[in-house]
Amino acid sequence: MSSKPAVLVTGASSGIGAAYADRFARRGHDLVLVARDADRLESLAARLRAEAGVAVDILRADLTEPADLARVEARLREDERVGVLVNNAGAAGHGGFLDQDSEQVGRLIDLNVTALARLASAVAPRFAASGGGAIVNIGSVVGLAPEFGMAVYGATKAFVLFLSQGLHGELGPRGVYVQAVLPAATRTEIWERSGRDVNALPAVMEVGELVDAALVGFDRGETVTIPPLPDAAQWSAYDAARAAMLPNFGQVHAAARYRSAA
């Protein structure tokens, strides 16, 4: 058993989650791998045990199912070995808003928003009490870009960014590190599952490169890591423009521009 904190990774059977599992295993961390596909989890676990010499536990769970989600929450609350949560599980949904029925919209929100927030909520009190731990939330640049036309998916990822920034402000002073990772198009199975052809996209990052870049941000203690963004000053300017509005939100009266129908 490693002396380093164990890492619980959701959506770990493939793509970004599997790459995180691989990288943390090679850093010497024991793992708890969570996903729906037990066979793929077992295959990944066997490889990482053999190649990295770490302990790997399997937790088969569908995070849209309340009983399964509750089991993962309990593991995070009770297992003091787990010191890092990688909230990666997510889906994109088929087509645009008019192509998605109410049940599909609900399941997308259940996975991308509800499960992610509940898992963070399950582990945060323990981390804060111990004065350590890390929560990594996988968002998306789509959460910054309604122009991409993925309304529900983008809204869920905007939530991930907001939650991460809010938790940074609340938990950071308690010693808990919170990171939001915002990938752009990455070569994972999410595209096939959402009925899109990844090869038709103009620019696609390989998953290993994405996770390696995200871990550079992790090691630097970044609150928001955007691996595909070449100029960090653009994000800084964006965030500064948002912050500059804050003093103007507290007003007794509506702004002058809204006091006339003209």
Q: State the catalytic residues.
A: 153
Sequence-ordered list of residues with C-beta below 8 angstroms from that of 62, at least 6 positions apart, any chain: 36, 68
> What is the token pair recorded at 56?
């790997």
| Phi, psi torsion values for 180, nearest 5 degrees | -100, 130
Q: What angle do CA 169, 173, 174 make, to 5 degrees?
A: 115
> What is the token pair recorded at 119?
């898992």
Q: Cα Rg for the chain, rounded, in angstroms?
A: 19
d(CA 193, CA 187): 12
Q: What angle do CA 193, 10, 190 make, to 5 degrees?
A: 15
